[in-house]
Amino acid sequence: MEFSVKNGSVEKQRTGCLVVGVYEPRRLSAAAEQLDKLSDGYLSALLRKGDLEGKAGQTLLLHNVPNVLADRVLLVGCGKERELTERQYKQTIQKMVQVIGDTGSTEASCFLTELHVKGRSIYWNVRFAIEAIHEQGYTYNDFKSVKPEVRRELRKIVFNVASRKELPLAEQALEHGKAITKGLFEAKNVANCPANVCNPKYLADLALSLAEQYSTVKTTIVDEAEMASLGMNAYLAVSRGSENPAYMSIIRYANHPDPKAKPIVLVGKGLTFDAGGLSLKPADGMDEMKYDMGGAASVLGAMKVIAELNLPLNVIGVLAGCENMIDGNAYRPGDILTTMSGLTVEVLNTDAEGRLVLCDALTYVECFDPELVIDVATLTGACVVALGHHNSGLISPNNTLANDLLSAAEQADDKAWRLPMGEEYQEQLKSNFADLANIGGRWGGAITAGVFLSNFSKKYTWAHLDIAGTAWKSGAAKGATGRPVPLLSQFLINKSGVCCKIVS
């Protein structure tokens, strides 16, 4: 879809559909008031008759509005003006697209970006309108032999801003919104791809293709032979039960003005399928374990975003591709593994495999002398119990990094919540036979998993994002969300110093 921004008046809008907002109870927005004057009170007369109350989600499609050049006028209910939240704003935008799509209009001029969302600026309104529209329109039909029929599609939306001085900020929002959407689509597509296609080699090929698309990106692949020579025995143990070998993809984005600047490193858990190993998962819902590579998918998406935006940073994305399956060579509960760091780990549950892959990946990235490292993983069901499907879990011993990530999460409306960590949780990871156990018992499982990883990230500034509850949806809405691509992208935009005014 094509997006643009401009500063214009409603009377000059010659378009397939002109969209304005109505607040509850029956209060016209500023743009709707202009349209009402132009049409000699046509809109206010309809409201007085009760055609539209202005409640969130209500719409009224009008044809042949007096003195209006647009083919159609769409009134969209926005709820109470002072109570318009980010979530309601996005739903309002999505409702607009749904209704326009049903009309067959191919273009629209949208004045909803002028609505006041508390604490947000025109940058926010435009950028997240783009994200909401793409989320509404996203489908994954790659494996359907009969594609859904699509009538005339909405192809162009013009977002209006109230003043010309807001245009530069709106144009920046346009650029950021389109890039983040591309990253979201990349993450969603690879996560939704079935595990019989999307295996560790497939992930590696996607990483290589990214380097073909952008001159700022170079990709190298670490195979199992190299992992063995490096002593990455925990990573390899998880892979042993699968016929598909493990591959770790190293995506280097180099665009900092100082080529010697330390890189930011993103490490994504890439379990392209997780059967649980010998600690076999229940059959019910096991099909969703193709989403256990959501961390790697989001890192791949974030790398695409920064390449699209050409951010002045050095960033390395690591996709830790692997499969956790069962055969006679699979690792067992009770096995003791010597990790790349030299620490030994007693395996008490083979379904706690993500941390075994990540602990070696986190040791490996020491060679980059990073400014900071963030690992992203669908790590624990315990995080879903703790935070539900709304917030990603955040763990970090570094307050500055944690606060920067929480700030980016708030700005991007990609929510996260910081979990505690401390010596008490380390106690739960004690083993009678090794340096660490790979699980810490039932209680505080999301925290003990993060604390486990902290033992392998002491040589740099580090944070962990557990996205088990946010990376995909189940049920009728089943599918990848692409989270936390917006959070990671916003964090990197902030680190780059690229100016954008997100709050009002």
AA identity, residue 225: A
Give the distance, in angstroms, between the CA of residue 100 and the centroid of all CA atoms in the same chain: 26
Catalytic residue (one of 201, 281, 459, 501): 281
Asked about 27 being catalytic, the answer comes back as no
What's 350's DSSP letter? T
Asked about 262 being catalytic, the answer comes back as no
Cα–Cα dist 255/36, whole Å: 51
Q: Which is nearest to 266 in space by CA: 222, 304, 319, 332?
A: 319
AA identity, residue 391: N
How many degrees, rounded to 5, is the angle at CA 181 between CA 320 and CA 476? 80
Q: Which is nearest to 19 in space by CA: 107, 118, 104?
A: 107
Cα–Cα dist 355/368, whole Å: 21
Report whether 492 contacts 311 (CB < 8 A).
Answer: yes
Residue 224: how many other CB atoms lie within 10 Å: 18
Q: How far apart are the first and last CA of the chain?
A: 28
Catalytic residue (one of 90, 95, 355, 495): 355
Structure tokens at 314: 């050095």
Dihedral, 180, 139, 151, 158 alpha carbons, nearest 10: -10
Q: Which residues are catalytic?
A: 281, 355
